[in-house]
Structure 1
Amino acid sequence: MLNRRTFTVYSATAAVGAPALAQSDPLRIVVGFPAGGIVDIIARELGEAMKPHLGGRAVVVEAKPGAGGRIGVATVKTAAPDGNAVLLTPSSIMTLYPHVFNKLGYDTLKDLTPVSTVCMSANALAVGMHVPVKTLGEFIAWCKANPKEASYASPGAGSAPHFLGAQIASAAGIEMLHVPYKGAPDILNDLYGGRISSFVTALSNAVQPHMGGKMRVLVTTSPKRSSVLPDVQTAAEAGYPQLSGMEWFGLLAPAGTSPERVAVLNSAVSKAIASDRIKEAFGKLIMEPSSSSPTEFARMIKADIDRWGATAKRLNYQPVDA
């Protein structure tokens, strides 16, 4: 449960590295997306790296795809709070969805217990090669000079890229037409064909097209320049520090999971994240390994919920039925 007790009770136990609790059942890492996708890959790599630190417990990754990840959340929400089931999820499911959907079926702050972050992903703003700009500043000037052509694509209304694009436009004082799509292939076809001017996406989706000369990444939201795209400025370097921010992927347990069991899981994640295996695997995914205490993670979740809420209000976004 994410409450005052959550923010205080874990620290002493986690700090000393609680001994593994006697459990014979396997640890189930539930993901709300199909097997073979990036969340599933993160879960499998993490599970393998956690095994040595769980006292010999088996780790099983269980895909529960559907409803944009919400089925996975429901699976863990209703699981017994015994430390045998955790959810691995991107942050938008926990922090953006409460502002996007009515009758969501879960309350992030009441139904789940933060365990740890696992990795971070930067977002990026990219333009088609038909847009004659190389920096965010130049793109802003171009949008002001060509308002009818100023547009950005996202994988759907209410998605994190949709809201991030709105944040970019607001910070820059420009108008950009939001063009929602059903998936990346259609976005890329229109971006390459010159039918849209820009694309807000996870950095991992933009690296290869940028390096291949099919699009140009103007800026990333990471706190420092990406090692794979060292030529690209961060939002802060471009003069917009308010656009800095990473999407996290993290583990959450059912509400009511004991602090002792959360501490055991947190310790295993922390040790796994520090391993060479995880650094190599996540590096290939263009993800930054990152663990946190349950208290730190809880604060991060609350801050992100508030941040997206402010953006939804600014957009006058009307939640839709889940």
Structure 2
Amino acid sequence: MLPINRRALLGTALALPALSDRAQAQGSEWTPSRPMRMIVPFVAGGSTDVAARMIADRMAEQLGQPIVVENRGGSGGNLGGEMVARAPADGHTLLMGTTGLLTTNAYIYRSMGFDPAKDLAPVSMAYTSDMVIVVHPGVRANTLAEFVALAKSKPGEMSYGSSGHGASTHTAAELFKLAAGIDVQHVPYRGSGGAMNDLIAGNIQMMLVQIAATTGAIRDGRIRALAATGPQRHALLPDVPTLAEQGLPQATATSWGAVMATGGTPAPAIARLSAACQQATRNPQLIQRMEAAGVDPSGSTAEELAAYIAAEREKWGRVVREARIHVD
């Protein structure tokens, strides 16, 4: 299944306005009766947190109640996810779920404390965030093919950094390794910032990281971009070819965030919340702000999101098993 991105999905939504109208009509019988919460399962300041706050503000305008964003980080997002899973199923507590929390953590952790497939209800895709493969300038590779050849010539000698075990920067890198047939050692960090600092210092040789976190360092020559991981070139790095353009379409990967509710939330509430998120992600000011930050707003129906998550679980489950990723 193709990744849900703002350009493709928004085009579909605009071409089928009746679908959105129907969702709004179904949800019109439900309205929030008090201020709401949106749980971000990571610390404040990261891309998930920034995107959640932008979207929550716009959704609040549609719903007529404020949405307070709360950060509950820990255990790869599991703590925040469990908080929403155990909340009353009344539509007043939302989660900004991410790729790892909703697809890979179930395979990586022995116990998450809840089952995201049963205890959370899809509402709407919120955003997608393409990544880029970058290397230290000292690495003797100006293209992806040259890097793959270099890695194959010295298996296990080079290393890459990620924002942590099971994070999208980890699983996407493992997908790339499997597709390219290379052996590059994983060095996990607590967040992408520390990994980026070590990449710039030359302590690690490679990273897959969200594009927004790299543009300044790429422009200044402190790191070199080899490939964009999304389905198409990104507007912030138009000169960087995709993995597919360079012969590795099977390594295409996009991280994303989705609005989720507590499992068992009534259908009218889900429909209204989904319509509010879809409207929020079509706001021109929101689109401009999020795209400037390297994040693409991406609204969807609850049904579209459910199908997408199911496909992503299957895809990343294979990667986790083949790469033997686990957290003790």
The two structures have a TM-score, normalised by structure 1, of 0.89
Q: Contact between 1:49 and 1:277, CA under 8 Å: does it hold in 2? A: no
In the alignment, the residues of structure 2 paired with residue 163 and residue 315 of structure 1 have an alpha-carbon distance, to the nearest angstrom, of: 9
Counterpart for residue 95 of structure 1: 103
Contact 1:50/1:272 (8 A) holds in 2: yes
Q: Distance in 2 between matches of 1:80 and 1:291?
A: 25
Q: Distance between the aligned counterparts of 2:96 and 2:286, measured in 1?
A: 15
Counterpart for residue 7 of structure 2: none
Deviation of 1:253 after TM superposition, in Å, equals 0.5
Equivalent of 2:179, from 171, 176, 183? Answer: 171
The reply to whether residue 39 of structure 1 matches residue 48 of structure 2 is yes
Q: Letter of the aligned partner of 1:240 in structure 2? A: L
Name 1:5's counterpart in structure 2.
Answer: none
Percent identity (aligned) = 33
Structure 1 unaligned runs (5+)?
1-9
Partner of 2:216: 208
Task: Tell me what 1:196 maps to.
Answer: 204
Task: Indicate the residue corresponding to 2:33 in structure 1.
Answer: 24
Task: Out of 119-128 and 63-72, give the one that drifted further.
Answer: 63-72
Post-superposition offset of 1:309: 1.2
Alignment counterpart, residue 277 of structure 1, candidates 273, 285, 300: 285
Show the counterpart of 2:86. 78
In 2, Cα distance between the equivalents of 1:306 and 1:158?
15
Count of aligned pairs between the two proteins: 310
CA contact (8 A) 1:115 1:253 kept: yes
Q: 1:262 to 1:38 in 2, by over 3 A?
A: same
Alpha-carbon distance change, 43 to 181 in structure 1, aligned in 2, over 3 angstroms: closer
Distance 1:139 1:292, change over 3 A: same
CA contact (8 A) 1:149 1:196 kept: no
- Mapped pair 1:67 → 2:67: no
Any conservation in 2 of the 1:50–1:268 contact (CA below 8 Å)?
yes
Matched, 1:57 2:60: no
Root-mean-square deviation over aligned CA pairs: 2.1
8 A contact 1:114–1:252 mirrored in 2: yes
Which stretch of structure 1 is more off in the superposition, 180-189 or 166-175?
Answer: 180-189
Pair 166,268 (structure 1): closer, same or farther in 2 beyond 3 Å: same
Give secondary structure in 1 for the equivalent of 2:94.
strand
Measured after TM superposition, the shift of residue 298 of structure 1 is 0.6
In structure 1, C-alpha distance between the alignment counterparts of 2:33 and 2:326, rounded to whole Å = 46
1:127 pairs, out of 135, 138, 148, with 135
How far did residue 213 of structure 1 move? 0.8
- Specify the alignment match of 1:292 in structure 2: 300
8 Å contact 2:136–2:224 — kept in the other structure?
yes
User: Is the 8 Å Cα contact of residues 57 and 66 (structure 2) preserved in structure 1?
Assistant: no
Structure 2 spans left out of the alignment, 5+ residues: 1-18
Give the whole-Å Cα distance in 2 for the aligned partners of 1:36 and 1:187. 16
Matched, 1:244 2:234: no
Q: Is the 8 A contact 1:28 1:84 kept in 2?
A: yes
Q: Deviations over 1:91-133 (max 9, x none)?
A: 2111111111111111111001000010000122111000122
Give, in angstroms, the shift of residue 291 of structure 1: 0.7
Aligned to 1:312: 320
Matched, 1:229 2:237: yes
Which whole-Å CA distance do the structure 1 matches of 2:313 and 2:111 have between them? 16
Distance 1:138 1:14 in 2: 49
- Tell me if the contact between 2:27 and 2:270 (Cα under 8 Å) persists in the aligned partners: no
SS of the counterpart of 2:48? helix
